[in-house]
Structure 1
Amino acid sequence: MSIAKSISSPMAHTTKLTKEGSNYFEHPTLYKSIVGALQYATVTRPDIAYSVNKVCQFLSTPLEEHWSSVKRILRYLIGTQTHGILLQPVSPKSPLALTSFYYANWASDCDDRKSTSGAYLFIGNNLITWWSKKQNTISRSSIEAEYRSLALISQEFQWV
């Protein structure tokens, strides 16, 4: 991977990972080890949270297709080594603003039809918390998936 070319995004927009498809990856321990390291990297790299969440769903039986997605994330990280979280001081005279952004990807999992939610929460210009996870229940519409994401970020707001 040290001579691999960088890539502009951690996962292609059209990628749909499933439990079935290509051959099983012959080194599942290597897959688990690298995906675990990528989970650790999401602490300072929220831009890969969604992609890492997707590849983590196949730790028990990784396929060649899943391994290709992991390698794409690594290629993205090679080209974005200077990216990360920048914390900026907030003026004591300005009001403290809480801002959030959330999203829902309706029925994004081809295997169980559950939606994926994600959110970012800022104090001022500083990102303080973020997540991307599969919803616990199956939503019947995209708006229901959005409401579930909104409920989750509202809980996060209350906690902060």
Structure 2
Amino acid sequence: MILCQSKYAEEIIHRSKMDNFKPVVTPVDTKLKLSAHDGEPIQDPSLYRSLVGALQYLTFTRPNIAYVVQQVFPFMHAPREPHFNALKHIIRYIKGTFDHGLHLYRSAPTRLTSYTDAD
């Protein structure tokens, strides 16, 4: 079974007004380095905050975007253009990966499988 929030992802794209943008194949631009003082402040910080919060909720079924969403989160208090561009890149990735989700496999009821990352 796959837990998928494709309808919610579509709502995020619609809320961001990025319905006509082309999708990208990676969730982050590897050449981009975010800093608190680069670029101009954005005109509508509430939209930025709303979209970051929505993407955080999406990470429940999309752990593959958790890292990149946490990269744009620290700038919620004073978002600037490069931060918003990084956020738009994540949304463009979501647009191309509606079918991604959390895979749940059948297992014996007495068997517990756990994964961890030491980092």
Structure-2 change in CA distance of 1:29 and 1:99 (3 Å):
closer
Q: Which moved more, 1:84-93 or 1:36-45?
A: 84-93
2:62 aligned partner: 45
Equivalent residue for 1:90, pick from 95, 99, 107: 107
Unaligned runs of 5+ in 2: 1-17
Identity across the alignment (%): 38
| Distance in structure 1 (CA, Å) of the matches to 2:35 and 2:64 | 22
| Distance in structure 2 (CA, Å) of the matches to 1:25 and 1:56 | 15
Offset at residue 75 of structure 1 (A): 0.3
Equivalent residue for 1:58, pick from 63, 72, 75: 75
The yes-or-no answer on 1:27 pairing with 2:44 is yes
TM-score normalised by the chain length of structure 1: 0.59
1:76 aligned partner: 93
1:100 aligned partner: 116
State which structure, 1 or 2, has the greater radius of gyration over its C-alpha atoms.
1
SS in 1 for 2:92: helix
Deviation string 1:67-86 (CA, Å, 9 cap, x unpaired) is 00110010000000000101
Deviation string 1:43-82 (CA, Å, 9 cap, x unpaired) is 1110110111011100000000000011001000000000
| Distance in structure 1 (CA, Å) of the matches to 2:70 and 2:115 | 23
Kindly report structure 1 stretches of 4+ aligned residues shifted beyond 6 Å: none
Give the number of aligned pairs: 102
More strand by share: 1
TM-score normalised by the chain length of structure 2: 0.78
| Distance in structure 2 (CA, Å) of the matches to 1:68 and 1:11 | 10
AA paired with 2:45? P
Structure with more relative contact order (C-alpha pairs < 8 Å, separation 6 or more)? 2
Unaligned runs of 5+ in 1: 103-148, 150-160
